[in-house]
Amino acid sequence: MRNRIRRVWDTDATVIYPPVDISRLSRRGDWRDALSATEAATFQALPGTYILGASRFVPYKALDRVIDAGAAAGVPVVLAGSGPDETRLRAYAAESSTPVIFVSRPSDEMVAALMQHALVYVFPAVEDFGIMPVEAMALGTPVVVNAVGGASESMLEDVTGVSVHDFSHESLASAVTAASRLSGLACRERAREFSTNRFTSEIRDWMSLSLQPA
């Protein structure tokens, strides 16, 4: 974002990342305990190891690349969400070499449980920021993200996640394998840097500077 503003308007911008409700995600030891009976049964039926893609099912989220990542790494995939791209994604999943399980219209608690217990959270979309990778890290899960876009700024390369420059079979397999070995503790520590308290403090600091006389 800073580079885009510099390129278009030839000015340096202060970037303040949006807040993520880290305290809400951290308040439970195991989010499976918050699931309804129906969702608990759905979770229980999932593979013991899986990679996760969770978002609206719309084309620009590129969830087909999550399926590609699972196939490349030989790991089952869980896709959680809903949206107009679901029919296409199901057809694509049917051709995959790895199992793909769809969890439709998950509750917030279900998304948190899925994130918390995923091997890796995969986020292929190009976003200015991308809150969900930070939420995954807050739950101790490393991430694989697109090297283009803000998600690559929220994680620490080879510490809390891996960024992918191309989505070839080899790159995806390598990224999932590398990310799966990263520290959950490091992920949680990194996520705390995007807390609501941090956001409030940075906004106040920026406003104080902006209001100073020239």
* Three-state secondary-structure class, residue 101: strand
Task: For residue 105, name the pLDDT band (cuts at 50, 70, 90).
Answer: very high
Dihedral (CA of 64, 70, 76, 81) sign: negative
Q: What is the pLDDT of residue 21?
A: 84
Alpha helices, DSSP H only, in the chain? 2-9, 22-26, 37-44, 64-73, 86-94, 108-117, 131-138, 151-154, 169-180, 184-191, 196-210
Residue carrying the six token digits 């079979």: 169
Question: pLDDT tens for residues 52-85?
Answer: 999 999 999 999 999 999 999 999 999 999 999 9
Residue carrying the six token digits 């996640």: 161
Per-chain mean pLDDT for the chain: 90
pTM: 0.87
Angle ∠(87,92,94) on CA atoms, nearest 5: 95
Residue 206 has pLDDT above 60, yes or no: no
Q: Tally the C-alpha atoms within 13 A of residue 135's C-alpha that lie toward its C-beta.
A: 23
For each of the domains in the chain, give its residue range(s) and CATH number, in order of start. Answer: 20-210 (3.40.50.2000)
Question: pLDDT tens for residues 134-179?
Answer: 999 999 999 999 999 889 989 999 999 999 999 999 999 999 999 9
